[in-house]
Structure 1
Amino acid sequence: MLAVVLSLAAAAAFAASAMFIDSVSGRVGPLQLSRWQMSLAFLMTAVIAAVTGGWRTLDLEMVLWLTASSASGIMVGSLTYIATIQYTGPRISALLFTTASPFALALGFGFRGETVTLLQAAGVGLIVAGIALAVMGPKQDEGARTPKPLWIGILLGLVTSFAQALGSLLARPAMLEGADPVAAMVVRSGTGALFFIALLALPAFRPAALPSRVEVRQIGFSALAGMVVGMSFLMAALARGDVGIVTTLSSTTPIVILPMVWAVYRRIPGPLAWVGAAMAVAGTALISATS
């Protein structure tokens, strides 16, 4: 049950992070955004781990697992995530990312022997279908994009989902051995920050200008909510629950963000979003009842 609560808390933190970043996403490029988020998250988690003594829970093997997790979920996943949105737009990419759940279930079963009950499988199915309905909604303006082959975008989206599911799977051994969730995020965010900083060596990945002080503050709040709080909750959930279930529940961000958007922007979700939210809640209830 605790894994369910932690996974849903992670989804809520990811939703809050998205709200913070919404005001700067149009002015700060996605690569620069990732670079600042990872760097700020690393600084924040490093300070917390130093104060709480979380560093002492890590050994070399744990660090290697967490580094591999970052390489898959953050390095590969972030780059293909950006490319997917460029090829398909946000709505289709959001639908593609729901495939992270079945990927995680398959990986958990294949590599760790994790199985789910019929009720849990039904819950996962309801959540995935609910997320899909919630993000479909009325078609929104996806911006002026150069037409690109859709099949490439679909392939990139599937790679993103697989990379994120694999990242969770690779983090699980370290978490099962007792790694502190915040210290685990120091390794993951630090590895990611080094990667995105290293990309600056390539002229094509250099930003035209640095973000303003206000934008850096918003990125910092986003990093605190998503990378520090949210990902720490996710790491803690992986120490207590199966990869597939945790991945499914933590991916309910499109559902959790609906009331936030309603409260902040006064945009009432459409009928499909409400149906999707109800299905996701029902799916969560099924999983909770058997956890």
Structure 2
Amino acid sequence: MLAIVLSLGAAATFALSAMLIDRVNGRVAILQLARWQMGIAFAVTLVVSALLGSWQTVAAWQFGLLAASSAAGIMLASLTYFGAIMFAGPRISALLFTLASPFALLMGYVALGETVSAGQGAGIALIVFGIMLSITAPADAQVVGRSVRPFWQGIALGVITSVGQAAGSLLARPAMAAGVEPVTAMAIRSGLGFAFFLALMVTPMARRAMPLGRSELLNIGGSAILGMFIGMSFLMAALARGDVGIVSTLSSTTPILILPMLWATTGKRPTVAAWVGATLAVAGTALISFA
């Protein structure tokens, strides 16, 4: 029972984090947002990891894998994720995030020789169909409130985010399986991401910044703590206590949980296609997890 609560808690915090990022849309530059969020996430996870005294659990080869995981899952995927939210909205971004599961499956098949069952193939088809149903609904672009061209740019960025997340998970898997403490792993990944975004400031484009008020800082800090610390901690704790398939499925319900949140905050009722598409995407994740 606790694993179920933790899994749903992780999905809910991921949804809330996406909504907080959307609140600073147009008020914070994307690279500026990445610097602040990674910096806050690194500071929080570093303190917790130091208190746990778990840095000694990381060997050199594990650090190397986590660094590669950070390049794909943090340096690339966080940038595209922020762009996806700003162009396509938090609901579509959360829906596209379910593509990480089939991408990880396909990468495991190509890189590690893992098998793909008929049930998992059906799960991939359900996810793709659910996403297509949701984003091609006639009224959907109006619900999202973005213009057509940036909306489709957001779709592309969301797909890239899923590829980066899948690659990051695949690269981190051996290190985590060898016993690296999860908060320490996140501290390494976010710390390297923060260093990367700071280094980018040598370019004029990356130095572009907007004035940050109290509201912007609270939203950025809240999104970092909810998504990269609390959410991931819930997920790791759920995996330690429950069945992997159940945890993976329940923690992927973010596209469904975000719908009533958006309804409550915007007053705009999601379309039937949005509900059906999100449900099909989660069902596809379940097939991949259990097949």
TM-score when normalising by structure 1:
0.78
Matches within 5 A, 1:111-150: 111-137=111-137, 138=139, 139-140=141-142, 141-143=145-147
For 1:142, give the aligned amino acid: R
| 1:166 partnered with 2:167 | yes
Q: In the alignment, what sits opposite 2:257?
A: 256
For 2:146, give the aligned amino acid: E
Q: Deviations over 1:155-188 (max 9, x none)?
A: 7665443222111100111111111111110001
1:18–1:176 CA distance, 2 compared to 1 (3 A): same
Which moved further from structure 2: 41-50 or 97-106? 97-106
Kept after mapping to 2: 8 A contact 1:123/1:285: yes
1:16–1:38 CA distance, 2 compared to 1 (3 A): same
Kept after mapping to 1: 8 A contact 2:45/2:184: yes
Q: Deviations over 1:118-137 (max 9, x none)?
A: 44443443344334434444
1:58–1:241 CA distance, 2 compared to 1 (3 A): farther
Q: In the alignment, what sits opposite 1:65?
A: 65
Alignment partners' CA distance in 1, 2:131 and 2:222: 25
Q: In the alignment, what sits opposite 2:226?
A: 225
Kept after mapping to 2: 8 A contact 1:9/1:230: yes
Alignment partners' CA distance in 2, 1:202 and 1:167: 26
1:14–1:155 CA distance, 2 compared to 1 (3 A): closer
C-alpha displacement at 1:145, in angstroms?
A: 6.5
Secondary structure of residue in 2 paired with 1:25: coil
Alignment partners' CA distance in 1, 2:113 and 2:286: 24
| 1:108 partnered with 2:108 | yes
Q: In the alignment, what sits opposite 1:90?
A: 88
Q: Deviations over 1:74-114 (max 9, x none)?
A: 1122344566788xx41798476554333211112233344
Which moved further from structure 2: 99-108 or 228-237? 228-237
Alignment partners' CA distance in 1, 2:74 and 2:179: 22
For 1:218, give the aligned amino acid: N
Q: In the alignment, what sits opposite 1:77?
A: 77
For 1:267, give the aligned amino acid: K
Q: Deviations over 1:23-60 (max 9, x none)?
A: 22221111111110000000001111112223233222
For 2:88, give the aligned amino acid: P
Kept after mapping to 1: 8 A contact 2:97/2:162: yes
1:217–1:97 CA distance, 2 compared to 1 (3 A): closer
Alignment partners' CA distance in 2, 1:5 and 1:124: 26
Kept after mapping to 2: 8 A contact 1:134/1:254: no
Q: Which runs of 5+ in 2 are unaligned?
A: none
Kept after mapping to 1: 8 A contact 2:127/2:282: yes
Q: In the alignment, what sits opposite 1:13?
A: 13
Kept after mapping to 2: 8 A contact 1:3/1:241: no
Matches within 5 A, 1:14-53: 14-53=14-53
C-alpha displacement at 1:230, in angstroms?
A: 2.5
Alignment partners' CA distance in 2, 1:193 and 1:250: 26
Among all aligned residue pairs of Structure 1 and Structure 2, give the percentage whose two residues are the same amino acid.
55
TM-score when normalising by structure 2:
0.78
In the comparison of the two structures, how many residue pairs are matched? Answer: 282
Which moved further from structure 2: 32-41 or 199-208? 199-208
